[in-house]
Amino acid sequence: MKRYVVTVNGMVQGVGFRPFVYHLATALRLCGFVQNTADGVCAEIQGSDTACTSFLLQLKENAPPPAHIESLSVIKIPLRDEHAFAILPSREGETNTQISPDTAICPECANEIADETNRRYRYALTNCTRCGPRFTIVKNMPYDRKNTSLADFPMCDVCRAEYENPHNRRFHAQPNACAACGPKVKFYEKFQNIAQDPYLSFVQAIHKGEIVAIKGIGGFHLSCDAANEEAVKLLRKRKLRYDKPFAVMMRDIQTVQKHCFLTKEEQVLLLSPQTPIVLLKKKPACAIAPSVTLTNQRIGVMLPYAPLQCICMEFFEALIMTSGNLSDRPMVYLDDEAFSLLPRVADHILTHNRPIVRRMDDSVAMVVNSVPRLIRRARGYVPEPLPLQGNTRVILAVGPQQKNTFCLAKGEHGLLSGHMGDLRDIDTSAEYVHEMDSYIQLFDGIPEAVACDLHPDYVSTAYASRYQGSIPIFPIQHHHAHFASVLAEHNLQDHPAIGMIFDGTGYGEDGTIWGGELLFGTVRESKRMGHLDPFPLLGGEQAIREPWRIALSLLDMACGRETALSRYPGQEAPLLLQAGDQHVNAPLTSSMGRLFDGVCAIIGVKTHVTYEGQAAIELQQIMDSTAKGSYHFELHTHSGGVIFHWQSLIRALLLDHQAGVSPGVLSARFHRAVVELMQMAVSVLYQQTGCTTVVLSGGVFQNDYLLEQGLQTLRKQGYLVYSNEKIPANDGGIAFGQAAAASHRMR
């Protein structure tokens, strides 16, 4: 007989791990106990040598998904006079364990809510140890009901019996509830009168072409019939979302296949417990209303992941499921806010009284080169830690200004937050501070250092300055953070690499706006070895919203003032160019994203935009893949490194456009030029350094053509090429790169 203390760290709370340990121990006739601790799960087992060995082997190999064992320690201790195995109350202390993300409803729970004979038939808050809300209902650790938003809902006798039954899959399921004891669903007509049958009222409202706010796992969605063109137009008008595509929830995978092309990898992603929105290519016969995506050839699709959504989708093939907010504002997640703000957009509200502790947007993903890549990392993935090899400190990386996330690095765990949004919005910045404080408290991570962007005017930089004089602050250049994020994600911690970093805006070390950068270095630091030839942004930030201003600037530099003014006649253009000559509100930029905007405007596709990246997206959408030929950048080595000259490209583009060449052909030739540029720039740096490792990052690489062609072209030439996968290539990955860089500078 032997007795051991077994300590397990990792994703082991809120995932049915204690019931798994209980079943395993009792099957092997071991005695002892298991309990949650602030560090993870602790078990003491006592029995024969053979049984104990078998327990440890099966513990490692058969843990239930989504559990993940990160470390396991076994210590032999004296025997005790025990004859049974039990689950003991949790033991509290400093939190070093992981918290499970929210996961989609499991097949067993989905079958229950669809079964008229089951007591949970159409109970919209059904869950078990294998599925349901986790992070969005947790107030504190360890993961016990008293520390969740279910604390005020005592279990009824039947639910309690399930909870205490070792043979029930709800054995120790903390959010367990039913219609008798749990939160209730209600439909408020015009946000006031409570309907007798919430689901019938919901169906009737959608059929009328009305808009309904629906409470989800991490916040409210706005929903209408995705096949009803007038309803979709009405939603656009009320939400002030003029061009950006809406996400669509489809009933099942068969419905997705009916409307969209679907690869094996995309189907796996859609059906995963994380259930992100996946960007899919529409079929020609797609019956979704045109205003859902407008000119975009891709559609963001997700499957129902919450029981309430499953019930709603019984009646419809496809519903719009977009964030419950006004355009560019934070997603509403608090009940009071929903009733005060959402009547501006929605006609009715379908809700329940289980509080959401923290806002959590839907994750967004795309498959490129057969690899899933996150564009927005949120529900389903957060707060699962990202490995940060070699880190021994607690670092708070406060992230960028737009598409903000922050990262609390605690030891080798990089805890990247969910999508926060644009910190220029006062509500978003307040939520940002609140959520950072929550992370520090929840994960017991008192910062020993802070990492921030170089930009002096960012809200996140101002937040970092609060720590001035108390702990070290590490300003990390924006594009180095992109670069470091890829190296750290792929555990290339001390590996030198060449970086092609293309995005829209990032504050450079010289005070200009960077964005088309060639870097060389390691996670710790890098050197700018080349860049796009800078051009002025006429009118400053207004040029981002009006790409014709960028076109004017490019044409002026490439073709001369007379040509530029002939393309944009009127009083404003001469004044803008004159101000640019005098360096008035015309900051220089080397941004590849802005070059895309300018090209899009020159060929007449988009002169004004209503959301970030719109011009570049639409330029890609019109590409004619059958077109022949390519434009070319010219590379010249100066004292500042390799300069990517674009002037001859713009001249050739303009000549073709004036000759009547179609925009689709022009777009294809421009895209091929960018791929060729990547190849040439990397080759130049290889000749200088001998380095064969290449990193691609930055928001421009959300363009699946550029990423796929860049990866394939460079790999064919023998380079080892890496890009972001588990974290976004856009600014949503900046905080992780900041944390990685700061960690290395502290070593």
CB of 514 closer than 8 Å to CB of 529:
no
Give the residue from 364, 383, 417 where a domain finishes: 364
Q: Is residue 380 part of a domain?
A: no
* pLDDT tops 90 at residue 327: no
Task: Report how far residue 515's alpha carbon sits from residue 652's, in angstroms, rounded to the nearest whole number.
Answer: 23
Task: Report how far residue 226's alpha carbon sits from residue 203's, in angstroms, rounded to the nearest whole number.
Answer: 13
CA-based nearest residue to 162, from 113, 119, 121: 119
CB of 529 closer than 8 Å to CB of 519:
yes
What's the rounded mean pLDDT across residues 350-365? 97
Q: Is residue 430 part of a domain?
A: no
Are residues 357 and 213 both part of a single domain?
yes
Parent domain of 313: 185-364
Q: Which of the residue ranges 116-120, 162-166, 551-555, 743-747 would you say has the lowest mean pLDDT?
A: 162-166
DSSP letter for each residue of 430-471: HHHHHHHHHHHHHTT---SEEEEES-TT-HHHHHHGGGTTTS
The answer, as to whether pTM is greater than 0.85, is: yes
pLDDT for position 97: 66
Strand arrangement, sheet containing 2-11: 68-77, 2-11, 40-47, 31-37, 85-87
Give the residue from 364, 399, 423 where a domain finishes: 364
Are residues 249 and 202 both part of a single domain?
yes
Predicted confidence band of residue 703 (pLDDT cuts 50, 70, 90): very high
* pLDDT tops 70 at residue 93: no
Q: What share of the chain is helix, strand, coil (3-state, %, to 5)?
A: 35, 25, 40
Could you give the dihedral angle defined by the CA atoms of residues 727, 276, 224 and 334, in that order, rounded to the nearest 10 degrees?
-70
Predicted confidence band of residue 15 (pLDDT cuts 50, 70, 90): confident
Are residues 273 and 134 both part of a single domain?
no
* pLDDT tops 90 at residue 98: no
Are residues 219 and 82 both part of a single domain?
no
Q: What is the 3-state secondary structure (H, E, C) of 188-221?
A: EECCCEECCCHHHHHHHHHHCCCCEEEECCCCEE
Q: Is residue 702 part of a domain?
A: no
pLDDT for position 95: 56
Q: What is the CATH number of the domain that holds 298?
A: 3.90.870.40
Tokens representing 357 are 């502790």
Predicted confidence band of residue 570 (pLDDT cuts 50, 70, 90): confident
Give the residue from 87, 119, 142 where a domain finishes: 87
Tokens representing 487 are 């190296």
The total domain count for the chain is 3
What's the rounded mean pLDDT across residues 122-149? 93
Are residues 252 and 152 both part of a single domain?
no
Beta-sheet pairing, 40-47 with 2-11: antiparallel
Q: Is residue 697 part of a domain?
A: no
The predicted-structure confidence for 448-463, as pLDDT tens digits, reads as follows 999 999 999 999 999 9
Are residues 151 and 221 both part of a single domain?
no
Count CB atoms within 10 A of the CB of residue 75.
10
In the chain, pLDDT over 70 holds for what percent of residues?
99
pLDDT for position 701: 98
Tokens representing 281 are 């290519």
Task: Report how far residue 86's alpha carbon sits from residue 79's, in angstroms, rounded to the nearest whole number.
Answer: 16
* pLDDT tops 70 at residue 94: no
* pLDDT tops 80 at residue 171: yes
Are residues 13 and 151 both part of a single domain?
no
DSSP letter for each residue of 540-584: TTHHHH-HHHHHHHHHHHHH-HHHHHHHS-SSHHHHHHHHHHTTS
**Is 510 buried (19+), middle (13-18) or exposed (0-12) by CB count in 10 A?**
exposed
Q: Is residue 402 part of a domain?
A: no
Q: Is residue 24 part of a domain?
A: yes
* pLDDT tops 70 at residue 468: yes
Query: What integer best gives the mean pLDDT of the chain?
Result: 95
* pLDDT tops 90 at residue 9: no
